Chains A and B, each alone.
Chain A
């Protein structure tokens, strides 16, 4: 391949990549403009200085700290609980090879495919009956199960290839099934569990429909729901919209930078399994 032909491809790819990140840049640029500057020069001008009052106003107005706490609490709990539930299921299916495991696994796969629309009203209704409506706990319970459906499916296939010798050795040393799980299987599978943990956290963070239905009071809402509802009400001016967008983008950007390797590797693992 000659250099003459190589560069146009690189340039085209760079332009395409730029197109992907440009929305983030415009948001960042405009979130630090004052409303006066925005209305005078429009969205494309570079900011004259850094104006943070818009961000601060927005932060206080929607009580963003509370939303972050809610999102972290819900996503963190779901990630941990769903990994535990997936491990228990996958231990029985992948290593225990319980009878009828193919059917059990098919059941989890189907549960994973179901659209949330087919569950949302009964979950809303039942949680009202149980007094759990508009609590963070209800969302934690529901997403723990939904994420564990995927986790069970993935982990079962990983654990079914777990080296039998290690388990046999531990059993001969007198460990019972419970001890084998926590002292042998879990430590050995730590990389996969880490990937699942990160995925469950981010997926739950990004969830919209169920939290939108289940969390109506301001104090319980997640970042996604609070921002989505605000946008849906069409009450925000341009500066506020940009503040909202930037504050919504930042946590995702942090996760992305922190977990980039896990994310890209994890998707590959998940896809070919």
Chain B
């Protein structure tokens, strides 16, 4: 993502050098950065450094923090709650990144290829809007809606199962420790699906229709065209969606707070909720800071890896084109 910007600037920069206005000091533009840099120092950099610093201490939020070095991190390694919360994070990545990306791809291709072509773009637009709707909903509200639908007594889902004669399938969807995580995952798929769908549909508009026509003439079926043309063509979008959704999955908080509060018995605890309760309910600020620092490191490393993968494929494609 950054790389595209950098490339663009390099090209224009060299053009500019030949211009007549070379003498004007470009540094005076730096003044425009001043408010931004100051605001970022106060709101992001200082709090982040404080949080990292506090993670090496024992602190209840009042008084002077006591330096304990890596003690918090050593404690984390033996904390089964901590490991469980990160294991649940992996489930969230499946529910918020893997499943929505795959479903989004198939749905986007079907809407773009089938529905828009044979039934008109209007129907495709309306259907897309339906899929995207949950994305604009505050997560707290989505949580209220679903916790009521999934309620054990008189919840809509159980009522529906009973009405169609599947009464024995009724469950305490969010209250059963073996089921709660899967129920939350289901809700997150519902919440997240619209994002990849919309991005992929926009990406598909970039694809040269001649590619499809040529493949169709060669007798390639829908799935083959999907696999050999659609997927490679919108690879940039797939990377972006996977990056964003994975990060969003690691950060998930509101849904867990509203749906289950991490329960029952920690069955749906996730790192952000775990750090939240450690900060504000147990007031073990140092320990909470250590949890959130680990989360930060994981997110930053993942972002860098995705970015690297993305630029490498871009470079490879460019190289192939040049050759």
Point out the residue from A118, A142, A244 that lies within 8 Å of B51, measured CB to CB: A118
CA distance A248 to B254 in the complex (A): 15
Q: Does A116 contact B (CB under 8 A)?
A: yes
Inter-chain contacts of A238 with B (CB < 8 A) = 148, 151, 154
Closest residue to B6 on the A side, CB-wise? A102
Inter-chain contacts of A212 with B (CB < 8 A) = 257
Closest residue to B275 on the A side, CB-wise? A117
Inter-chain contact total with CB atoms closer than 8 Å: 314
A37 to chain B, nearest CB (A): 12
Answer whether A20 and B190 are a contact pair too, CB < 8 Å, given A117-B292, A225-B140, A272-B236: yes
Q: Is A121 a contact of B40 with CB atoms below 8 Å?
A: no
Q: Is B159 a contact of A6 with CB atoms below 8 Å?
A: no
Q: Is A113 a contact of B6 with CB atoms below 8 Å?
A: no
Q: Is B54 a contact of A121 with CB atoms below 8 Å?
A: yes
Encode A105-116 as 1/0 by CB contact (under 8 A) with B.
Answer: 111111101111
Which 7 pairs show the lowest CB-CB distances between chains A and B? A96-B29, A268-B202, A248-B141, A228-B140, A122-B47, A208-B254, A17-B130
A182 to chain B, nearest CB (A): 12
Closest residue to B206 on the A side, CB-wise? A272
Inter-chain contacts of A228 with B (CB < 8 A) = 140, 143-144, 254, 257-258
Q: Is B296 a contact of A118 with CB atoms below 8 Å?
A: yes
Interface residues of B in 251-267 (CB under 8 A from A): 251, 253-254, 257-258, 261
Q: Is A85 a contact of B36 with CB atoms below 8 Å?
A: yes
Q: Does A166 contact B (CB under 8 A)?
A: no
Inter-chain contacts of A241 with B (CB < 8 A) = 144, 147-148
Q: Does A188 contact B (CB under 8 A)?
A: no
B147 to chain A, nearest CB (A): 7
Q: How many residues of B contact A (CB 8 A)?
A: 110
Point out the residue from B29, B48, B127, B292 that lies within 8 Å of A97, measured CB to CB: B29
Closest residue to B24 on the A side, CB-wise? A171
Q: What are 23 A-B pairs with beta-carbon distances under 8 A?
A: A1-B118, A17-B127, A42-B159, A43-B156, A88-B32, A89-B36, A91-B32, A97-B26, A98-B33, A117-B292, A120-B279, A141-B39, A153-B1, A157-B4, A157-B5, A181-B32, A206-B139, A224-B139, A224-B140, A231-B147, A241-B147, A248-B144, A267-B195
Residues of B with Cβ closer than 8 Å to A? 1-2, 4-6, 8-9, 12-13, 15-16, 19, 21, 26-33, 35-37, 39-40, 42-44, 46-48, 50-52, 54, 61, 107, 110-111, 114-115, 118-119, 123, 127-134, 136-141, 143-149, 151, 154-156, 159-160, 163, 190, 193-195, 198-199, 202-203, 236-237, 240-241, 247, 250-251, 253-254, 257-258, 261, 271-272, 275-276, 279-280, 285, 288-289, 291-293, 295-296, 299-300, 303
CA distance A141 to B46 in the complex (A): 14
B45 to chain A, nearest CB (A): 8
Answer whether A44 and B296 are a contact pair too, CB < 8 Å, given A17-B130, A98-B26: no
CA distance A272 to B1 in the complex (A): 8
Q: Is B199 a contact of A160 with CB atoms below 8 Å?
A: no
Q: Does A164 contact B (CB under 8 A)?
A: yes
Closest residue to B280 on the A side, CB-wise? A213
Inter-chain contacts of B44 with A (CB < 8 A) = 111, 114, 119, 145-146, 149
Q: How many residues of A contact B (CB 8 A)?
A: 107
A151 to chain B, nearest CB (A): 10
Contacts A115-B295, A252-B136, A272-B237 aside, 12 further interface pairs with beta carbons under 8 A come to A102-B2, A114-B48, A116-B251, A117-B271, A117-B292, A119-B47, A144-B39, A168-B19, A205-B138, A225-B140, A245-B145, A267-B202
Inter-chain contacts of A149 with B (CB < 8 A) = 40, 44
Secondary structure of the A side of the interface?
Answer: helix
Answer whether A118 and B1 are a contact pair too, CB < 8 Å, given A14-B127, A206-B139, A209-B272: no
A136 to chain B, nearest CB (A): 16
Answer whether A118 and B19 are a contact pair too, CB < 8 Å, given A205-B138, A206-B139, A238-B148: no
